[in-house]
Structure 1
Amino acid sequence: MTTALITHADCLDHVNPEGHPERVARLEHILHALEPLDLLRVGAPMAAEDDILRIHPAAYLADLRKARPNEGFGQIDGDTFLSPGSLDAAFRAAGAVIRGVDMVLGGEAQNAFAAIRPPGHHAETDTAMGFCLFGNAALAAKHALDHHGLSRVAVVDFDVHHGNGTQDLLWDEKRALLITSQQMPLWPGSGRVDEDGAYENILNIPLPPESGGAEMRAAYQGQVFPRLRDFKPELIIISAGFDAHQDDPLANLNWSTQDFAWITQQLCILADEMCDGRIVSTLEGGYDLNALSAACKAHVEELIEASK
Structure 2
Amino acid sequence: MKTALISHAECLGHVTPDGHPERVARLEHLLNALEPLDLNRVSAPMAAEDDILRIHPASYLAGLRAAAPTDGLRAVDGDTWLSPGSLDAAFRGAGAAVRAVDMVLGGDAPNAFAAVRPPGHHAETDTAMGFCLFGNAALAAKHALDHHGLSRVAVVDFDVHHGNGTQDILWEERRTLFISSQQIPLFPGTGQAHETGAFDNVVNIPLPPGSDGSHMRREWETHAFPRLRAFKPELIVISAGFDAHADDPLANLEWQVEDFAWITAELCKLADELCEGRVVSTLEGGYDLNALSASARAHVQELMKAAR
Do both proteins adopt the same fold according to a TM-score greater than 0.5, normalized to the shorter chain? yes
User: Could you tell me how far 1:217 is from its partner in structure 2?
Assistant: 0.3
Please tell me the residue identity of whatever aligns with 1:21: P
User: Could you tell me how far 1:74 is from its partner in structure 2?
Assistant: 1.0
**In 2, distance between residues paired with 1:263 and 1:187?**
23
Please report the TM-score for the alignment, with normalisation by the length of structure 1: 1.00
Please tell me the residue identity of whatever aligns with 2:85: G
* Paired residues for 1:235-274 under 5 Å: 235-274=235-274
**In 2, distance between residues paired with 1:243 and 1:20?**
15
**In 1, distance between residues paired with 2:306 and 2:59?**
41
User: Could you tell me how far 1:51 is from its partner in structure 2?
Assistant: 0.4
After superposition, give the CA deviation of every residue in 1:231-281 in whole Å (9 maximum; x if it has no partner). Answer: 000000000000000000000000000000000000000000000000000
After superposition, give the CA deviation of every residue in 1:151-172 in whole Å (9 maximum; x if it has no partner). Answer: 0000000000000000000000
User: Could you tell me how far 1:58 is from its partner in structure 2?
Assistant: 0.3
Partner of 1:90: 90
Please tell me the residue identity of whatever aligns with 1:278: R
**In 1, distance between residues paired with 2:222 and 2:195?**
19
**In 1, distance between residues paired with 2:227 and 2:60?**
34
Superposition RMSD on alpha carbons, in Å? 0.3
User: Could you tell me how far 1:2 is from its partner in structure 2?
Assistant: 1.6
Partner of 1:279: 279
After superposition, give the CA deviation of every residue in 1:51-105 in whole Å (9 maximum; x if it has no partner). Answer: 0000000000000001000111111111000000000000000000000000000
Partner of 1:221: 221
* Paired residues for 1:29-108 under 5 Å: 29-108=29-108
Partner of 1:171: 171
Partner of 1:141: 141
Please tell me the residue identity of whatever aligns with 1:302: E
Please tell me the residue identity of whatever aligns with 2:224: V
Partner of 1:204: 204
Partner of 2:234: 234
**In 1, distance between residues paired with 2:75 and 2:183?**
27
**In 1, distance between residues paired with 2:168 and 2:25?**
29
Partner of 1:181: 181
**In 1, distance between residues paired with 2:195 and 2:221?**
21
User: Could you tell me how far 1:222 is from its partner in structure 2?
Assistant: 0.8
User: Could you tell me how far 1:138 is from its partner in structure 2?
Assistant: 0.2
Please tell me the residue identity of whatever aligns with 2:45: P
Partner of 2:121: 121
After superposition, give the CA deviation of every residue in 1:101-140 in whole Å (9 maximum; x if it has no partner). Answer: 0000000000000000000000000000000000000000
Structure 2 gaps, min length 5: none
Please tell me the residue identity of whatever aligns with 2:223: Q
Partner of 1:6: 6
**In 1, distance between residues paired with 2:67 and 2:251?**
29
**In 1, distance between residues paired with 2:176 and 2:224?**
15
Please tell me the residue identity of whatever aligns with 1:92: R
Partner of 1:162: 162
**In 1, distance between residues paired with 2:67 and 2:284?**
23
Partner of 1:292: 292
Moved over 4 A (4+): none
**In 1, distance between residues paired with 2:223 and 2:18?**
40
**In 2, distance between residues paired with 1:22 and 1:58?**
26
**In 2, distance between residues paired with 1:290 and 1:242?**
11
User: Could you tell me how far 1:305 is from its partner in structure 2?
Assistant: 0.4
After superposition, give the CA deviation of every residue in 1:171-210 in whole Å (9 maximum; x if it has no partner). Answer: 0000000000000000100001111000000000000000
Please tell me the residue identity of whatever aligns with 2:23: R
**In 2, distance between residues paired with 1:23 and 1:94?**
18
Q: Secondary structure at the residue paired with 1:206?
A: strand
Please report the TM-score for the alignment, with normalisation by the length of structure 2: 1.00
**In 2, distance between residues paired with 1:124 and 1:221?**
28
**In 2, distance between residues paired with 1:115 and 1:233?**
23
**In 1, distance between residues paired with 2:228 and 2:10?**
35
Q: Secondary structure at the residue paired with 2:194?
A: coil
